[in-house]
Homo-oligomer: A and B are copies of this chain.
Amino acid sequence: MGDDTSLTLSDDEVDRIFRALADATRRDIVRRTLTEEITVSALAAAYEMSFAAVQKHVSVLESAGLVHKNRHGRERLVRGNPDTLRKAQLLLDQYEELWRRRIDRLDALLAGDPAGGPPADPAAPA
């Protein structure tokens, strides 16, 4: 679990990534920790909720692989993980590509290009 090097994502992993991103506080934590390492306390101070609540958010992000915690004495430095973010990007790219290919097929069809599949309309110009 949490293998950063794997390119194939299980449904569960993808679930966790998108679920983790589906919360404004957590997205903000990702944003901050992508540009600087911050302790959990420092993060907690930034939000109108308890330390424990922020701790949970960080935990959700961590088990999604979006964030990594580094021990530094008694504190934990939270750092965003661009790799996982990139995986999510790739996912969305694939959907986009899927849609684009459909449009290409339609275009080919309209252009009478046989490579786009046999036209269903026999009335099309030869």
Q: Is A19 an interface residue (CB 8 A)?
A: yes
Q: Which of B30, B101, B102 contacts A95 (CB 8 A)?
A: B30
Q: Which of A69-91 contact B (CB under 8 A)?
A: 80, 82, 85-86, 88-89
Query: How many chain copies does the complex carry?
Result: 2
| Cβ distance A34 to chain B, nearest Cβ, rounded Å | 4
Expressed in whole angstroms, the Cα–Cα distance for A36 and B66 within the complex equals 33
Question: Count of chain A residues with Cβ under 8 Å from any Cβ of B?
Answer: 31
**In the complex, which residues of chain B have a beta carbon less than 8 angstroms from the beta carbon of A36?**
102
Question: In the complex where A15-B24, A22-B18 touch, is A31 in contact with B82 (Cβ < 8 A)?
Answer: no
Given known A92-B88, A95-B85, contact A23–B34 (CB-CB < 8 A): no
- Residues in A lying within 8 Å of B, measured CB to CB: 11, 14-19, 21-24, 27, 30-31, 34-36, 80, 82, 85-86, 88-89, 92-93, 95-96, 98-99, 101-102
**9 A-B residue pairs with CB within 8 Å:** A14-B22, A18-B21, A19-B22, A31-B98, A34-B95, A34-B98, A35-B101, A85-B92, A85-B96
